Amino acid sequence: MSRRAEALLALLGVAALVFAAWAAPWLRFVLTVALAKGLAVLGILLLLRAGQVSFGHAMFLALGAYTVAFAAPGVPEALVLLPAAALLAGVAGLLIGLFVVRYRDIFFGMLNLALSMVFYSVLEKFYAVTKGTDGIRVPPLSVAGIEPARETQEWVMFGLALGLALFCAVGVRAYLASPMGQALAGIKTRETRLEFLGVPARRVMLFAYVLSAMMGGAGGALIAMTSRHVTPQLAYWTSSGELIFIGILGGAGSALGPFLGAIAFELVRVYAGAAVADAWQMILGGVLLAVILFAPGGLIGILSRQKRKQA
Amino acid sequence: MGEWFAENGLLLGLAGLDGLSYAALVFMVAVGLNLVFGVLRIVNVAHGSLFAIGAYTAASIGLFFTSRGLPPAAGYAALLLGAALVGGVLGPLIERVVLRRVYGYEDVLQLLVTFALFMILEDVQKLVWGVQPVFQDSPMKALGTVEVPFGDDTIPFTAYQLFVLPGVAVATLVGLAWFLRRTLTGRVIVAVTTDKEAAMAMGIDATRVTLLTFTFGAALAALGGALASPTTSLVPGIGASTIVLSFAVVATAGLGQIEGAALTSLLIGLGRSAAVYFAPELEVVVPYLIMVAVLLVRPQGLFGVVEARRV
């Protein structure tokens, strides 16, 4: 997709989102959560560029969410908690990354899965600290020192998510176009040759991994602030699967894909859940199968194909 | 040490017995997963659903038999029937209709296709059997309990878990080793696992081998589920927790070795049940800690073979 088309799509998307959030107030919550998830998926997109699937990235999302839940009673300020959550997730990403970037393919995926399951059961089993599966309620937060009313609060969270989403999408786009980002694609095609060129593949991976962990943490923090309740389910392996699902649904070809995918995912989930309470997973699974079989480029792929036909 | 042993010896013995029967079940699932990965090169996330559906089907058939006044021994026929039915119907269905379409695709997409299948099968299971626990233990009751001598004491343990589960697992291990190494069909499967292109050049019908292997793996998972069904009440979510555990086994063992999968199942089964008795909050974590520890030292898994790097 050309640069202009992408910018146009982003602008149209922002306008559509703001309009939807204004026209249907109940959608504001759904869209904020979708944007937050999209942020985490954007991180996964970086690793997908290197051909690696982390089947445990929900741990960073959960880490961000629990950071907010634990720190909120002491520091009820969204603008402090959000960067703090992202930073903590980044540090965790660095420590875990130092270990997992040495592995590729199934081992990379499974190690991430293993570590996320460890985190999940810590959250679930240490009831005294984490309240187990009951989860923790997040108290109302102030933004820049002001404690807004309920509706304003919703708008503020929505705006925060939207702004962060745009910022990160632009950042990721620039990063992927830089030599560091290009090297990621090199890891996917033939890592050995990359090293012959003198590019340290593991360091390239580590950088991407830390970035993706930070985006996961920021997404998780936004989810905790919006839904005001965190549970260990956030870190379960099916949540990680969901994130990859969203990445493929939206399309890995553009930084806008994750957000497009996340919004489609959440909307299908809400509507399918309301229509057939016991079969929404089946419907989502069916959608995923259809996308992979008939549109492997994801939603963004469908859009850009349409564009090319017109031109 | 002696004092600790006098106090906890019995518990240790019980943990050992429990671990053994648990390892048997884990092995049944993990070995099928390993076999399928070898030939299809797909990490089958839906493998856990086959375990769950096998368990539910066997329990339903068993309950039907009991309601018709058949003797408890018929419960064993129900277990086998359930496994054969699920493996024989769902296995070919999944491979023929879905997986066959994505063989040329990227790894990520293949993985996600099985994740989509997992989501669909999870809801199928809820729609068919509901969310209420299903319980059918007549095969286990029929054999009664055995007093296992342990030091000066005895530990009462069900004969089913003591003999049937490990017995079937050992029979599977020996039978599979014989099948893969001594029969033509088995050797053909090994050939396709080792080098698909060369095998096809020799005139092997890889399409047929793939179908056969997948069906076989599915039947093993379903049999594992069927065997597990008398020992526990069946609830939604057993498929999800089984599959992550067998991922851990497969990654710890390294790919391709069935004896390795057996030893690793034993290691992880014993480790987990030791945790159940001595540090319950670590129950879920132990298998993953073992996996992480093993992969730190041996990145290719305990029994995996190092592959040459492609240039």
Transcribe B245-291 into DSSP letters: HHHHHHHHH-TT-HHHHHHHHHHHHHHHHHHHHH-GGGTTHHHHHHH
- Using an 8 Å CB-CB cutoff, list chain B residues near A248: 108-109, 112
**Of B202, B203, B295, B204, nearest in space to B253 by CA:** B295
Burial of A289 (0-12, 13-18, 19+ CB in 10 A): buried
List of domains in chain B: 27-297 (1.10.3470)
CB contact under 8 A, B45 and A241: yes
Is the model's pLDDT at A127 over the cut of 90? no
Confirm or reject contact between B101 and chain A (CB < 8 A). yes
Closest residue to A117, CB basis, from B98, B115, B284: B284
DSSP B231: G
The CA R_g of chain A, rounded to the nearest whole Å, is 19
Residue B255, pLDDT > 80, answer: no
Fold category of A3-310 in CATH: ABC transporter involved in vitamin B12 uptake, BtuC (1.10.3470)
- Quick one: which of A192, A162, A217 has its CA closest to A43? A217
Please give the residue of chain A at the shortest CA–CA distance from B37. A106
Residue B265 has pLDDT above 60, yes or no: yes
Task: Summarize pLDDT for A129-148 with one digit per residue, the tens.
Answer: 888 888 899 888 888 778 77
Q: Please determine, for residue A69, whether its predicted confidence score (pLDDT) is greater than 90.
A: yes
Tokens representing residue B240 in the block: 């999800």
Q: Which two tokens stand for residue B127?
A: 């729609």
Query: d(Cα A83, Cα A208) in Å, to the nearest integer?
Result: 18
User: How many CB contacts within 8 angstroms connect chain A with chain B?
Assistant: 135
**Cβ contacts (< 8 Å) between B115 and chain A: which residues?**
241, 244-245, 285, 288
Give the residue from chain A lying closest to B126, CA to CA. Answer: A278
Q: Which residues of A touch B301 (CB under 8 A)?
A: 107
Location of structure tokens 């974590």: B285
Residue the block writes with tokens 């496994």: B83
Give residue-wise pLDDT tens across range A51-63: 898 889 999 999 9
Q: CA-to-CA distance for A244 and B285, rounded, in angstroms?
A: 23
CA distance linking residue B305 with residue A48, whole number of Å: 26
Q: Which of A47, A103, A110 to mutate to test the interface with B (most CBs of B within 10 A)?
A: A110
Residue A311's pLDDT is 44
| Interchain pair A190, B310: CB under 8 A | yes
Instruction: Provide φ and ψ at A137, rounded to 5°.
Output: -85, 140
Helices (H) and strands (E) in chain B, counts: 13, 2
Q: How far is B142 from chain A (nearest CA, A)?
A: 35
**A49, pLDDT greater than 70:** yes
Contact assignment for B127 to A278 by CB distance below 8 Å: yes
Structure-token match 């594992």, residue found: B224
Q: At residue A146, what are phi and psi to the nearest 5 degrees?
A: -105, 135
Q: Which of A46, A112, A238, A278 to mutate to test the interface with B (most CBs of B within 10 A)?
A: A238
Tokens of B64: 């039907």
DSSP calls for B184-207: HHHHHHHHHHH-HHHHHHTT--HH
| Interface contact B179, partner A, CB < 8 A | no
Domain ranges of chain A: 3-310
Q: Taking CA atoms, what residue in B is nearest to A196?
A: B311
Which tens digit of pLDDT belongs to each residue from A168-206?
999 999 999 999 888 888 888 888 888 888 888 899 999
Rounded to whole angstroms, the Cα distance separating B184 from B179 reads 8
> From CA A164, how far away is CA A173, in angstroms rounded?
14
Angle at A237 between CA B86 and CA A173, to 5 degrees: 125
pLDDT mean across residues, chain B: 89
CA A44, CA B291: separation in Å to the nearest integer? Answer: 23
* Dihedral angle of Cα A150, A151, A155, A161, to the nearest 10 degrees: 40
Chain A residues with CB under 8 Å of B112 CB are 244-245, 248, 288, 292
Would you place residue A220 in the very low, low, confident or very high pLDDT band (cuts 50, 70, 90)? very high
- DSSP conformation letters of A218-263: HHHHHHHHHH-EE-GGGGSHHHHHHHHHHHHHH-TTSTTHHHHHHH
Q: Is the pTM of this model over 0.95?
A: no
